[in-house]
Amino acid sequence: MQFIVENWILILAAFVSGALLVWPMVSKGGIGASITTADAVRLINQEKAVLIDVREPSEFAAGHAAGARNVPLGALEGAKGLPSNKAVPLVVVCATGARSSRAAAQLRKAGYGSVHNLAGGTAAWRDASLPIEKSA
């Protein structure tokens, strides 16, 4: 007990530094919230993950990841393009990863258990030479 009383500043500093290390994981939706294109392909191939593109329909038509479903961010709540089984893994994608990060947080709040944001969005998908489709 005397050690704690004499070294309370060091104990407080250790606690604060630990909290600062944990904060980014908590504030961004947890460990593994953003994934790489390689991780996304693995999820799609091995766990039958569904790609959800949250860009506007005009952006989606100009070019999107092959097999992606278009569910714009503004119409995300109650959208029919989302899987009814909330246990199915979702990979959320947009142009650069900013909108999809917000969409992933909304989907987690809606009860989807495995939601992942594609880091870098469609740009990263293109850079990885993965298939891109265009709508007519």
Q: Which residues are catalytic?
A: 94
Alpha carbon distance 103, 27 (integer Å): 15
Contact 115, 88 (CB under 8 A): no
Q: Which of 88, 114, 119 is nearest to 101 (CA)?
A: 119
**H runs (alpha helix) in the chain:** 2-6, 8-27, 37-47, 57-62, 98-109, 121-127
Alpha carbon distance 8, 108 (integer Å): 39
Alpha carbon distance 64, 62 (integer Å): 7
Our CA dihedral for 121, 126, 131, 136, rounded to 10 degrees, sits at 80
